[in-house]
Amino acid sequence: MINIPPDAKVIKNSKLTIIRTISTLHDKHVKGKGGLKDQVIEDMNKKRATFAQSEHVVARLLPGGVKMEIDPGKFYELFKSKKITQQQFLGCVSVGKGAAEEILSPIDVAAISVSGATSSQSLLTEFRPGISASIEEVDLSGLILKMLLTQASAAA
């Protein structure tokens, strides 16, 4: 929560409401697990489509990385049989956070954790040629109402 100090200089700016509303809608309905973006990607994958379009937007599905895992027990056997060194073994090993959390405290897990980027499918969208939208041109309330009515009728 943002706490404004009593002596801070504060201005009024109604654009903040629009920014926060769009961010909240984006987080909840577009980006979130099972959100609109996931639904479009799933639909495109089911139909084996690389491209999609709506009345105003075209989209291209970009491929994500392929995940391949090595059996940790078999890899550990290579170390135990001295086919690889301890340094080589540790340089290749990663520990699943979920599994570690089952046996260590959250503080211990945090103390030994590192983070990195993952690769997943991306959906690139843009307006069709000749169509643009600025925040002043987009009727968010009408668009949101239409989206909610469509989702409600689909769920019924």
C-alpha–C-alpha distance, residues 19 and 11, integer Å = 16
* 88's tokens: 């080589």
C-alpha–C-alpha distance, residues 69 and 49, integer Å = 28
- Cβ atoms < 10 Å from Cβ of 45: 11
**What are the tens digits of pLDDT across the range 6-51?**
998 988 877 777 777 777 777 777 776 778 888 899 999 999 999 9
Over its C-alpha atoms, the chain yields an Rg (Å, rounded) of 24
* Three-class secondary structure of residue 33 per DSSP: coil
In the predicted structure, residue 134 carries a pLDDT above the cut 60: no
- Cβ atoms < 10 Å from Cβ of 59: 19
What residues does each domain of the chain span? 15-65+119-138, 72-111
pLDDT at position 24, please? Answer: 72
In the predicted structure, residue 118 carries a pLDDT above the cut 70: no
For residue 104, list its beta bridge partners: none
Could you write out the DSSP letters of every residue in 10-28?
----THHHHHHHHHHHIII
* Three-class secondary structure of residue 64 per DSSP: coil
* 84's tokens: 């690889």
Q: Are 79 and 89 in contact (CB under 8 A)?
A: yes
What is the model's pTM?
A: 0.41
Q: Are 51 and 58 in contact (CB under 8 A)?
A: yes
User: What percent of the chain has a predicted confidence (pLDDT) above 90?
Assistant: 25
**What are the tens digits of pLDDT across the range 82-101?**
999 999 999 998 888 888 99
